[in-house]
Structure formats: C-alpha cells, structure tokens
Amino acid sequence: MPPRKPRKRPAPEYLVTTKAKAAACPSCGAAVMTGLIWGERRYIDPVPLSLRGEAAALVLGQKTYELSWLGRPTERQVYHIQAGLPAHWKIHARHRCGVCWDHPQYRDERRPHYDRDRPCPF
C-alpha cells in the first residue's frame, strides 16, 4: 500500500473579514459600506445607530455590526447587545433596500472618541 498522501488543509482565507469600504448598493444604488464578513459579502448602512435604532433594526430582522477602529465590522452578538452601546465604536445595521435609519431617534449622535476638536484631557 502506497503511503497516504498528506491531505491539504483548507486555507483560512475563506473566513476572512476585510475592512469596510464605501460603495453603492447593487440593487438600489444607496451609499453603503461593503466588505467581507467571515468570507461573505455584506452591505452595511453607514448611519451609526443608537440603542433605539439597533432595537428597531433587530425587530426588522437586520443584523447589526460594530465597526472597530480598524474598520472591520464585527457582528453584534447577544452579549454585545446586552452590554449597550460600545464605548468607542459605532453600531451599524445591515443594509436593507428602502429602509432609512437617518432619523434623530435612531441615529447615534455621540462624537467619535478620536475627534480632533475635543479638548485635550491633560
């Protein structure tokens, strides 16, 4: 019996998460952010959501994501949602054609922690 050929291990690239980039929705043409999340292309609305906006998105069945400072979206799990708003990141909903999150109650109006206009704390 010939020696067994070593089995090729799958490359981990298929689970890659890439930085979200500005794009247009291929269906409706709205401005969205797109990137690979665990190897699947996702379209994310660029409007940052408040907790009320996230609740509305979840009721509509839309997943929500956090964008880290690297720009990589991370899907919000139950423990993220229970913890409330992330201290430094923004929450974004998965894009759904025809749904607009640009309402003051749904929008996160916090200034980003890296805001250059903020006075120096020391």
Residues forming contacts to Zn ion in the complex (CB under 5 A) are: 25, 27-28, 30, 97
CA 2 to chain centre: 50
90-to-11, 55, 100 alpha-carbon distances in Å: 31, 14, 17
CA proximity to 56, closest of 13, 21, 94: 94
Nearer to Zn ion, 81 or 99 (CB): 99
Name the minimum Å distance from CB 96 to Zn ion.
7
Name the minimum Å distance from CB 29 to Zn ion.
7
Nearer to Zn ion, 1 or 22 (CB): 22
Nearer to Zn ion, 37 or 89 (CB): 37
